[in-house]
Structures are given as C-alpha cells and as structure tokens.
Amino acid sequence: MPPARRTPLSRDRILHAAIKLADRHGLDALSMRKLATTLKVEAMSLYNHVANKDELLDGMVDVVIGEITRPTPGGDWRAAMRARAHSALAVMTAHPWAPMLVVSRIIVGPNMLAYIDATLGTLREAGLSWHETDRAWHTMDNYIYGFATQQQNFPVNPDEYAAAAAAYLPMLPVSLYPYMHEMSSHVADGSLDGTLDFAFGLELILDGLERLRTARA
C-alpha cells in the first residue's frame, strides 16, 4: 500500500486547528509549539503561513466572525439586527476565548470588514444618521460581548441560583437591604429564576433605536 498523503499545510488549516485547540483548552494553552504538535509539523513551518502569534490570533478571530449571521441592508432592519445579535452570542458561546480578543484587537480581515459593513449598512438604510449608526453599532456590540463574557464567567450555575440566594439571605437583613432581600427571597423560593436574559436587554436596545428611527422619519 502506498503511504497516505499528508494534508498540505495551509493558513486555513492552521487557523482552524488553532481555534479547535483554544476551544478545548483555552487561549492560554495555545502556543505555536503546541499548535505545531497538533498538526504534526515542525513549529517553524507554521511561519510560512502566519508571521507570528499576533497574526495567528487575528486570523482566528476573523474566522470566528465569519460564523456570525450578517444582517442584510434594506430589509427588516430590526429582524436582521436581532438575528445578528443572537447569532453573535451563539458564536461567542461556542468559542469562549473569542469575546476578549474581539474587543481588544483591531481586526481587518475580510470577514470582520464584511460583518461591520453589513451592520453599518443595515442601520443606515433603516434611517439612522451616521452619528446614530456609530453609537448604535457599538452599543449593541458592547451588550453582546459583555453579556457573553459575564455568562461565561458567572460564578454560579443556573440550577444553583435558588440555593445560592437562600444561602445569601442571612447576609441581607431587611433593615439594611430591603430590595435585595426581597428579590433574593423570590429567587430562593423559585418565583423568580434569576437567570441572565439576553433577549430582554436586546429588545430594550432595539426599542430605543426604533424610537430614534421613527423620530427621524
């Protein structure tokens, strides 16, 4: 039997392997050496396709952004932006390392540029000014990436909220913290689930943008 052909090394293969490694073990576990071991190549061969680790990280973010549903300018702007937001949260949840990289790096890959351009176009075609479009875009993204980060790092699991609230009640005397005590009591007895609600905050943002759009129209 002839020996099996090894899949040629490419930038795309490197980026997808790096994403899989970061998904499984976290971004701190990602190094050029470990990535090379995963791909069964010499570490130096990676540099024929990515100049350094910064370029690797930028490329990984751009691939991940390409997984998000882009809005289409000129249609139902609210439905498009809602779909974009839910898709972005799902992608950030699938790649827990991604939110911090997205907000801390300037990415100019083709997926990121197309994603931003489609977002700007959708908001502009909805009737928002450039000033409002700029503010709206950043407000939505701050909410999406902030929510994803909090959701991933929240110290209590949703099925433990009631027990955690009950445990904290003795530290919340009614005389000092009446509203916290009452809300925690509702979480403890199950009448309030206490879970994070992405859709609630998203609709508040969309409602505000709709008021701006209507006022301009």
Residue percentage of the chain with pLDDT more than 90 = 90
The confidence score (pLDDT) of residue 103 equals: 93
pLDDT value at position 9?
Answer: 95
Residues 6+ apart with CB under 8 A from 84: 68, 69, 70, 71, 119, 122
Segment 103-157, tens digit of pLDDT: 999 999 999 999 999 999 999 999 999 999 999 999 999 999 999 999 999 888 8
Q: What is the DSSP string of 27-57?
A: GGG--HHHHHHHHTS-HHHHTTT-SSHHHHH
- The Cα angle at residue 16 between residues 12 and 20, in degrees rounded to 5: 170
pLDDT of residue 190: 93
| Long-range contacts at 48-52 (CB < 8 A, ≥ 24 apart) | 48/9, 49/9, 49/10, 49/11, 49/14, 50/11, 50/14, 50/15
Q: Is the pLDDT of residue 207 over 90?
A: yes
Query: Which residues have a Cβ under 8 Å from the Cβ of 80 and sit 6 or more positions away?
Result: 71, 72, 122
2 pLDDT above the threshold of 60: no
Q: Catalogue all structural domains in the chain, each as residue range(s) with its CATH number.
A: 11-50 (1.10.10.60), 62-154 (1.10.357.10)
> Which tokens sit at 28?
């701190």
Given a cut of 70, is residue 46 above it in pLDDT?
yes
- Average pLDDT of the chain is 94
Q: What is the per-residue pLDDT for 1?
A: 57
pLDDT at 196: 86
